[in-house]
Amino acid sequence: DGGITQSPKYLFRKEGQNVTLSCEQNLNHDAMYWYRQDPGQGLRLIYYSQIVNDFQKGDIAEGYSVSREKKESFPLTVTSAQKNPTAFYLCASSPGGANTEAFFGQGTRLTVV
């Protein structure tokens, strides 16, 4: 089945450790996005990529890094520099262009202890 997959669903890490969240899509979409969501809040854009080997910072990129080496994959690394990493992380993809819908993964809930 076509879709966008995030793994794992739940992730626990110790403070000070980097952690990488996976996002894979088999929809042949050019654009991919990472969002952070805190309890009771809306989605905030971390990074987005329009095409392979290119990505741009969103509103809250500090403490995060991404790569886009393959069209299907857009992993997000939460570094130790991110002061409040515990959150719900959502990945999305779209064909690109304004007249196309985005598809979201089911999210990864990261807890840093």
Contact set with another protein (CB under 8 A): 30-31, 33, 35, 41-45, 48, 50-51, 56, 58-59, 88, 90, 92, 94, 96-99, 101-107, 109
Nearer to another protein, 45 or 75 (CB): 45
Q: How far apart are CA 101 and CA 97, in angstroms?
A: 9
Nearer to another protein, 17 or 56 (CB): 56
Nearer to another protein, 58 or 75 (CB): 58
Which amino acid appears at position 71 of this protein? K
**If you count them, how many residues does the chain have?**
113
Task: Give the shortest CB-46-to-another protein separation in angstroms.
Answer: 11
Give 58's strand partners: none
Which amino acid appears at position 17 of this protein? Q
- Coil, strand or helix at 72: coil
Task: Give the shortest CB-15-to-another protein separation in angstroms.
Answer: 24
> What values do phi and psi take at 19, rounded to 5?
-145, 140
Nearer to another protein, 85 or 105 (CB): 105
